[in-house]
Structure 1
Amino acid sequence: MVVIGIDPHKSSHTAVAVDQTGRRLGQKTVTADPDGLLRLRSWATQFGTGPRWAVEDGRGVAGRLVRTLIGTGATVVWVPPKLMAACRASARTRGKSDPIDALAIARAALREPDLPTAHLDQTALDLRLLSDRREHLVNRRTASINQLRWHLHDLDPALDQTHPRLTGPRAQHTLTTALSTLPASVRRDLALDLLTEITTLTQQITQLEHQLRTRVQPLAPTLLAITGVSTVLAAKIIGETAGITRFRSPAAYAMHTGTAPIPTWTANKPHYRLNRGGNRQLNTCLHRIAITQLTHHPPARTYRDNWTKHHPHATTKAALRALKRHLVNTIYRALTTDLT
């Protein structure tokens, strides 16, 4: 079996082919455009009709490449950057370059045959794009609100204290009226400009949330029925999962989300530590759901309490991680159910 590892970049892609033992068979660097991708496919034909492609998980620069490969019938797997870095560090080759990284990617795919396979899922891609756009706008609005509050405190501390939330239309209208009555100054004009920007961003965020709601509600009713899963979180989960069928089991999905426990014991009582790998976006979604369920969902509190009884020396954070791992099973079943 031949595996072709690709180190993708904005302007070029470097590919290295290896055999089943990890021995380098050849390498090719092409431009990241349609002609370059065509040359890459032509170069790969020398290794047979069915090489396995492994691409470093950088979807900002590798999305077009992966879609093109899948469109031609190729099998493609995503290789996490940390896994690639570990393979590069364990190799005898010194230094860092695109060919060295591509070789490490190919060897990582050989070492981990159960990596999730990439596939075309336009629905998940659309939801991820909308979710990312919403998060970007929310961050911009938060930054503008922070700037506005400093101006309000300087103009009149009472204005800041009487408007604890600035994301609602009523509060924005009231504050605009109050600022307009103040004497003209550069600081007042800047505050009005920031308030106008916050109002515009809020309208755009609301429109994006409406689009997400329209797309997600008919797509994932079982997922939305889980306590703590809002429309925004459901869209994020579907978009980042990019097809639940890529994962053979809840355990594989837990590894992808970074909730699978990591053992840290030897000849002793089993202990596990925090898993800092996996998809951090999905991990954040699970954390928010877990926190919400601990407040509003009695079965979640019961699960945490029972787990703590069986692990009397465990910390509160360890119990929360156990609940997140339990939630992965629930979300995996919900996503699978929504496919039928």
Structure 2
Amino acid sequence: MTITVLGIDLGKNSCSVAGLDEMGRVILRRRLNRDGIVRLAAKLPACVMAMEACCGAHHLGRVLRDQGHEVRLMSPEYVQPYVKAQKNDERDAEAIAEAATRPTMRFVELKSEAELDAQILHRARTRLVGQRTALINQLRAVLLERGIVIAKGRRQLELRLAEMLDDAGARPLTLSARTRLLIEDMRLEWSELDRRIAALTAEFVAQARDDQVARRLTTIPGFGALNATALVAAIGMGETFRSARDLAAWLGLVPRQATTGGKPRLLGITKRGNAYLRTLLIHGARAALPSLSASSTAMGEWLRALLGRAHKNKVVVALAGKLARTAWAVLRSGEIYAAKEGRPATA
């Protein structure tokens, strides 16, 4: 019998595989390491290699694709309904193989090394930003314990630290010599984190300038180098999504619905999918909202009407969803963003 679909349940060291024939019957069950999977695939005729889109799946998928196999990656949540009772690794591999044969299944595109590198850089920058935020909060707590209250904002803390540690004529502070040294060390660490974050940001700006697709995305209001490079690394040219709504749903920006008294009622967004991209889009929408709502474009007219009946935060999320759909249109059309004219804003 010939294996037509090989389902692979990936693990860190050992993986379970299940092979299906043309009738969908399991004719092979085996437990192998990742190198063993490559050796097994080399002995098989060209067939479908199905895996969940998890850590290491894209690298193994590229290796199997180079051997002539068709690689199908799926989101784990789409595979879960096909797992039978008494869940284990062998049944997971069988469920992956079965899910890959469904005609309505949505697959994840294999990422290139360049796209994975971009995503790794974004994750590294996010980690550095989190470390900087934690350091700033700790500095505020240390100073508050000594009775030093600083106004809200990162810039206010920077100015106050410069006043306390750099100015020779500053008023005496209730800080011990050891605490002052600790704060100076934390301040130096803060400066180093700023430098590393700025270096990564400059790298993203250069990537957005050199990449044609990312450069088109930066023409959209609220899309900077971070948003553009992150979106390109995550979805490439957008072939995975059949419509703009599919992309917005993948980002979790589509509102949930409930029916009350026979009438549909909108709830909060689903918050599914890529949380990092969703965060970037919402931050970009918040930054672009003032200028867009004051413009004479069709989007400005829509935003002004929305601001008149909804809270500003809801408008920001709605704008983020519209920007995501606009990005899908720019990716699919190959053109730059062009705002449509609307009625001018009234005073």
User: Which residue in the other structure is 2:46 paired with?
Assistant: 49
Change (3 A) 1:206 1:315: closer
The answer on 1:39 being equivalent to 2:39 is yes
Q: Please give the per-residue CA displacement for 1:187-233, whole angstroms capped at 9, x wherever unaligned.
A: 22222221111111111001111111111123222211111112122
In structure 1, distance between residues paired with 2:311 and 2:61 = 42
User: Which residue in the other structure is 1:247 paired with?
Assistant: 241
The answer on 1:78 being equivalent to 2:73 is yes
User: Which residue in the other structure is 1:228 paired with?
Assistant: 222
Q: Tell me, yes or no, if the aligned pair for 1:54 and 1:76 is still in contact at 8 Å.
A: yes
After superposition, where does 1:151-170 map in structure 2 within 5 Å?
Answer: 151-157=142-148, 160-161=150-151, 164-165=154-155
The alpha-carbon deviation at position 54 of structure 1 amounts to 2.4
User: Which residue in the other structure is 1:87 paired with?
Assistant: 82
The answer on 1:18 being equivalent to 2:27 is no
Q: Tell me, yes or no, if the aligned pair for 2:237 and 2:332 is still in contact at 8 Å.
A: no
In structure 1, distance between residues paired with 2:164 and 2:237 = 45
Corresponding letter in the other structure for 2:114: T
Change (3 A) 1:184 1:260: closer
The answer on 1:279 being equivalent to 2:274 is yes
The answer on 1:332 being equivalent to 2:328 is yes
Query: Does the residue aligned with 2:8 lie in a helix, a strand or coil?
Result: strand
Change (3 A) 1:325 1:154: closer
Corresponding letter in the other structure for 2:72: V
Corresponding letter in the other structure for 1:226: I
Q: Quick one: which of 282, 287, 290 aligns to 1:295? A: 290
What residue ranges of structure 1 are gaps of 5+ in the alignment? none
Query: Does the residue aligned with 1:139 lie in a helix, a strand or coil?
Result: helix
User: Which residue in the other structure is 2:344 paired with?
Assistant: none
User: Which residue in the other structure is 1:209 paired with?
Assistant: 201
Query: Does the residue aligned with 1:49 lie in a helix, a strand or coil?
Result: coil
Query: Does the residue aligned with 1:328 lie in a helix, a strand or coil?
Result: helix
The alpha-carbon deviation at position 128 of structure 1 amounts to 1.1
In structure 1, distance between residues paired with 2:176 and 2:4 = 71
User: Which residue in the other structure is 2:339 paired with?
Assistant: none
Q: Quick one: which of 177, 191, 198 aligns to 2:166? A: 177
Q: Please give the per-residue CA displacement for 1:49-77, whole angstroms capped at 9, x wherever unaligned.
A: 232x222122x332322232233333323
Q: Tell me, yes or no, if the aligned pair for 1:77 and 1:115 is still in contact at 8 Å.
A: no
The farther-off stretch of 251-260 and 262-271 is 262-271
In structure 2, distance between residues paired with 1:251 and 1:6 = 31
So what's the TM-score if we normalise by structure 2? 0.77
Q: Quick one: which of 103, 118, 124 aligns to 2:115? A: 124
What residue ranges of structure 2 are gaps of 5+ in the alignment? 337-347
In structure 1, distance between residues paired with 2:277 and 2:307 = 25
Change (3 A) 1:153 1:106: same
Corresponding letter in the other structure for 1:302: E
So what's the TM-score if we normalise by structure 1? 0.78
Count matched residues: 324
Query: Does the residue aligned with 1:329 lie in a helix, a strand or coil?
Result: helix
In structure 1, distance between residues paired with 2:320 and 2:254 = 9
In structure 1, distance between residues paired with 2:94 and 2:335 = 36
Query: Does the residue aligned with 1:217 lie in a helix, a strand or coil?
Result: helix
Q: Please give the per-residue CA displacement for 1:305-337, whole angstroms capped at 9, x wherever unaligned.
A: 66799xx9x998876665444333210122335
The alpha-carbon deviation at position 9 of structure 1 amounts to 1.9
Query: Does the residue aligned with 1:227 lie in a helix, a strand or coil?
Result: coil
User: Which residue in the other structure is 2:341 paired with?
Assistant: none
Query: Does the residue aligned with 1:232 lie in a helix, a strand or coil?
Result: helix
Change (3 A) 1:272 1:109: farther
Q: Tell me, yes or no, if the aligned pair for 2:17 and 2:93 is still in contact at 8 Å.
A: yes
The alpha-carbon deviation at position 11 of structure 1 amounts to 1.4
Corresponding letter in the other structure for 1:126: D
Overall identity of the aligned pairs, in %: 26
Query: Does the residue aligned with 1:54 lie in a helix, a strand or coil?
Result: strand
